[in-house]
A and B are shown apart, each in its own frame.
Chain A
Amino acid sequence: MTILENAQKILEQINETKDNFQLALKSVKSKNDLESVRLMFLSKKGEIQRLFSVLGKLGPTDRPVVGAELNAFRAAAQSDFELVQQSLLTAEKIKDFDVTLPGRMPIVGSLHPLFQVLDEIKIIFTEMGFRVEQGPEIESDFYNFEALNIPEYHPSRDMQDTFYLPDGYVLRTHTSPVQIRTMENQKPPVRMIAPGKCFRKDTPDATHSPIFHQVEGLCVDKGVSFADLKGIVQAFAQKLFGQEMRVRFRPSFFPFTEPSAEYDFSCIFCKGNGCKVCKKTGWLEISGAGMVDPAVFGFVNYDPDVYSGYAFGMGVERIAMLKYGIHDIRIFYENDTRFLNQF
């Protein structure tokens, strides 16, 4: 046997060992399997070491060539072995990892449900070209009543139980005074909503509260009609509660509108078929609306022969109660975290 033949033979053995090693590594399923692979190939008495011992028998030209090949094989085998060892360890760790432990919760705040509804109402109306206006909660008798065509000795004052303050002031009973303030400062066209807190002398119970929130809207321009009012209220109802909503207008009376109306939404619970909430009528009373009374225009120097307008109101609590299925208005003002957490 020549030296060349010998070297050739060892190289063949190396390749064979490589294949065997890969096969053995692939079939490793456990730590024990892995240990057998180590013993068989990588230990001092293993296959690779055995091949190194044959190296001494080669001639000086072949020895470095085969030696390099063998060294490369040993390094690669060691690295492959460690990879498998690592993945075995990881698998073992994952087996003990409990994903059901609770996560680290970030602290989150929340908007009050009443104001979430108010925000929605504001968005609907600003989309339809209404500007948001604000005004004071302490109002003069003039803005809260007189300028709204509610003279001092008129029975319509009884419609709103009022908290009076000294010196001719009141806590506003509606946000309508904001309409007067806006019209005083702006010529038509006017298209505004006034959201805000209002006060009525109502003894607190499930449906009454001495404070509540209202959104009032006003639109004044040339040729504004009752048909436009019906349109805007209908659009609002459908944007808020969905396309199938219907609106009903009934005659009513407010000193600052003529004609005046109460408007109802088709019952959101029974789709208008009649249920307990709507008292079998299929309708839910929402609030009042109407065409601005010419007397009101008189107070703000708008010419009633040129301009006409509509106004409408709504109670935010009422809508929020319907939307969320809340039956007691007082829960809004308690601010119980168990309540606020739900929204």
Chain B
Amino acid sequence: MKVTLNWLKDFVDISYSPDQLAQKLTMAGLEVEDYFAVNRSFKGVKIGKIIDCTPIEDTDHLTSCLVDIGDGRVNVVCGAPNTKKGLVAPIALVGARLEKVEITSRRIKGIESEGMLCSEVELGLSERAEELMELPSDTPVGLDFERFLGEPDYVFDVFITPNRADCQSVIGIARVIASISGRQLRRPPVPWREQDISGNNPVQVIIKNSNRCARYSGRFIENIRIKASPFWLVERLFNVGVRSINNVVDITNYIMMETGQPLHAFDYKLLQGDKIIVRTALKDERFTTLDEKEHILNEHALLICDTVKPVALAGVMGGLNSEVQPETSTVFLESAYFEPVGIRKTAKELDIFTESSRRFERGVDPNGTVYAMNRAAQMMIDLADGHIIGKAVDNYARKINPVNIDLNIERVNRLLGTKRSMQDIAKILTSIEIDVVKSNHDMLSVNVPTFRPDITRPVDLIEEVAINLGYDYIPTNTVACINQLQTPNLKDKFRDFMRGLLVALGLRETVSINLMPDKYAEYFLPEKTGLVQIINPLSADLAALRPDIMSSLLTIISYNRNRQNDTCRFFQIGNVAWKTEAYVEKTHVAGILAGKRTESTWFGKEETFDFYDIKGLAMSLLGKLGIVDLTLKKNTVGFWDSSSVAVFSGKEYLGCMGKLNDQACRLAKIKINDVFAFNFDFDQLFRFARIDKKFESISKYPSVPFDLAIVVDNDVPVAQIEKFIWSAAGSDLIQVKIFDYYTGDQIGAGKKSIGFSLTFSSKERTLDESSVEQSIKNILAHLNRDCGAELRPR
């Protein structure tokens, strides 16, 4: 909310500099987001008086004006409709620089123009654009415009948190300043008393639902003359972001900004009958608000009606059928208290948020309706020639009283960590207009004024004590007594352990915005599941939650490829989601490789990634996690290439690895598919990991190496041969490695040659040659029998 310094000064004396004030307000919980001097750079702008004025032929609105500027006269051509002899207005002379234009001497329709008579918009003072800014006729001609405007004002943009309903007004903020600076708040009195007004009120207010409308006050003002507001009013409203409409509407807005009480002015001639009825809307009842939008209402909406029709959407916006017109002469002024939640519901459901609804939904002061209404009435007398007729209407259907709270002083000190006396605390509360009605032992009994609807419990009072004490004056305790028996979160530790492993394996950690377009996400969905779609996405590009982490990693590859970062080794641990009957959220661990395993160097040629790179990575990871009994099965799922595999531990599915398919790459806009990846379910890894290791003793005796090259049919998988070797070798075999793999002419079609490097070792003895030879014999016999393998001829 914006307020200006001079406006605040109407209600409280302020000796702080603008810098200090911003600081003080911020530390009092009213965060000043910005503050600035109202721009008044009016060099070269003076007060001028039109002494002669002639329309220019062949134009529909231009006039040639001779203007007295005190120390001389200038001629200007002007397009405003209100030029007339004797008009006093600001004039920008040649050389003046205004916000948008620099004034130069020009020739228009053959007539010399030596300056510009200004409207308020040209001076950056308001949005009023059509007419010249008309100044009082006794304004000294030739005076610098800047001096005419008087003391420069400052605008403070204050962030009002939703609880501070009381600070949605200039008086509210002034009250806070009064309390922090120890000064008195001044509330301008209304210069008449209700009992002195003769005549009864001409309408009766009927409140059908007092839960929704606790109080409805109203007042008639007749003899109104609708016209433009005086400049000071327009400027103040403009500085706090309110556009000037006409004097009556401006007054209701001005008093709302000042007191926080929203007001509405009806044209009384457009109200039918002698009753104002406050009732909830019927289902599907139609109503057109003054912005000319028709709304279809439900029972949540509250309506202000005359005897035949609704005339306002209570607390939100007036109706088009009863708004103040240029010819309005009698005004019915409404000042009411509507219940916050109801207003909030209506504003949300109809998506109309107004200055009025914003205040009602936070809570206005039910006991402040009459004061605000009378302030506005007085301004209508002063600025619109109005006359009050009859006494005010005031239906206070459900009285809202100050809340009484008992506050335990020990509890204040315990929660804040302070040692304040009861007197201290009572003084603080009194300074913010909270009445201390009783005190005994360590209890204070207080009444909270109704302009503070946020204070209903002892803890709310404790907060007020803390704020007004100043958070800086609460001690800082760094000696905490803590429970030493805090067990660590093993799953989180496991996650970090795995991140360490993946980094050691040469991968870079990434993080993604896991929102993506529906079309893209759909491709990565598991079978028979649905996307998790956001009802109110920021854009179509961020509409669905990712169903698989691979969708994010492919995007990262694509992003890097477009920037010539060709070689990519990434991993990511993050959540994915889809929908079956319920929402399913899982954590994935994935690694991805694309591009070159090694670049060209001075000692070697470049090499590109293949299946065995990703397999090596995945297997190293699973190995380090102690996940055993691994089997690989051909994978046919979704976005994986047919050469990829699914990984199981026993019968439990862990995830997939291998190449991604071309379609997935195409969707991610990756031109060349050289992308290999693995993707595991985090919870499955956590379930099967055995990272609590046990030491296994190392043999003291030398080991015996033995190289064995065999030839076998192409369709026998290496893993199977390895299995045979292990089962035939006996217990002294401790390692099997493959040092050679060959297919080609030397051994003939349909065959492959594999070189195994075997290591034998025993923990009990030095192995002799004969026992190793026996093992080799067994292996060869076994291999020959079970898969037709032969020793490769030398």
Contact = CB atoms under 8 A, between A and B. Distances in A.
A129 B482 contact: yes
Interface string B583-626: 10100000000000000011100000000000000000000000
A226 B416 contact: yes
Contact of B482 (A128, A133, A251, A253): A128
Given A137-B585, A253-B162, A197 B514 contact: yes
Interface in A202-257: 202-204, 209-211, 213, 223, 225-228, 230-232, 234-235, 247-253
B28 A114 contact: no
A126 B506 CA distance: 28
A132 B487 CA distance: 10
Given A210-B542, A231-B477, A333-B511, A136 B503 contact: no
Contact of B471 (A251, A293, A294): A251
B345 interface: yes
A337 B565 contact: yes
A165 B163 contact: no
B569 A250 contact: no
A226 B417 contact: yes
A334 B462 CA distance: 46
Nearest to A280: B19
Interface in B389-424: 414-418
A314 B782 CA distance: 65
B41 to A, nearest CB: 23
Interface string B557-598: 001100101011111001101000001010000000000000
Interface string A137-151: 110000000000000
B415 A226 contact: yes
A129 B481 CA distance: 10
Given A115-B509, A253-B164, A259 B477 contact: no
Contact of B491 (A134, A201, A202, A231): A134
A166 B579 CA distance: 11
B758 to A, nearest CB: 29
Interface string B490-528: 011000100100111111111111110000000000000
B535 A165 contact: yes
B386 to A, nearest CB: 35
A276 interface: no
A319 B509 CA distance: 19
Contacts of B568: 337
B477 A107 contact: no
Interface string A326-343: 000000111111101000
A226 B418 CA distance: 9
Interface stretch (A21-29, A49-57, A88-96, A155-163): A155-163
A335 B559 contact: yes
A306 B583 CA distance: 37
A8 B536 CA distance: 114
Nearest to B510: A335
Interface string B468-488: 000110111111101110111
Contacts of A111: 499, 503, 509
Contacts of A258: 459-460, 462-463
A328 to B, nearest CB: 14
A226 B482 contact: no
B158 interface: no
Contacts of A334: 556, 559
Contacts of B496: 119
Interface size class of B (residues with CB under 8 A): 35 or more
A203 B417 contact: no
A333 B161 contact: no
B178 interface: no
A112 B358 CA distance: 43
B486 A165 contact: no
B533 interface: yes
B459 A294 contact: yes
B46 interface: no
B536 A201 contact: yes
Given A163-B534, A191-B486, A234-B478, A250 B508 contact: no
A109 B513 contact: no
A189 interface: yes
Given A165-B534, A335-B559, A337-B568, A226 B466 contact: yes
Nearest to B568: A337
Given A203-B538, A226-B466, A248-B472, A232 B511 contact: no
B645 to A, nearest CB: 24
A112 to B, nearest CB: 4
B480 A228 contact: yes
B361 interface: yes
B381 interface: no
A154 interface: yes
Contact of B508 (A137, A158, A332, A337): A337
A228 B602 CA distance: 61
A108 to B, nearest CB: 6
Given A165-B533, A249-B471, A104 B559 contact: no
Nearest to A279: B34
B574 A197 contact: yes
Given A101-B602, A131-B487, A337-B568, A250 B471 contact: yes
Contacts of B477: 225, 227-228, 230-231
B86 to A, nearest CB: 50
B102 to A, nearest CB: 31
Contact of A163 (B416, B459, B537, B560): B537
Contacts of B482: 128-129, 191
A107 B504 CA distance: 9
Contacts of A97: none
A169 interface: yes
A340 B510 contact: yes
In this complex, which of B418, B542, B569 has the most chain A Cβ atoms within 10 angstroms of its Cβ?
A: B542
Contacts of A104: 601, 603
Contacts of A112: 508-511
Contact of A115 (B361, B483, B499, B603): B499
B506 A107 contact: yes
B348 interface: yes
Given A165-B583, A191-B482, A333 B164 contact: no
Given A259-B466, A262-B31, A109 B577 contact: no
A333 B512 contact: yes
A115 B511 contact: yes
B344 interface: yes
B476 A227 contact: yes
A169 B583 contact: yes
Contacts of B27: 250-251
30 contacts: A108-B506, A109-B502, A109-B504, A109-B571, A114-B511, A115-B509, A119-B496, A128-B480, A129-B486, A130-B486, A132-B488, A132-B489, A137-B514, A153-B348, A154-B344, A197-B514, A197-B574, A225-B415, A226-B416, A226-B474, A227-B418, A231-B476, A234-B476, A247-B476, A253-B164, A258-B462, A259-B467, A333-B512, A335-B511, A337-B567
User: Which 4 residue pairs across A and B have the least CB separation, nearest first?
Assistant: A227-B417, A251-B29, A225-B417, A253-B161
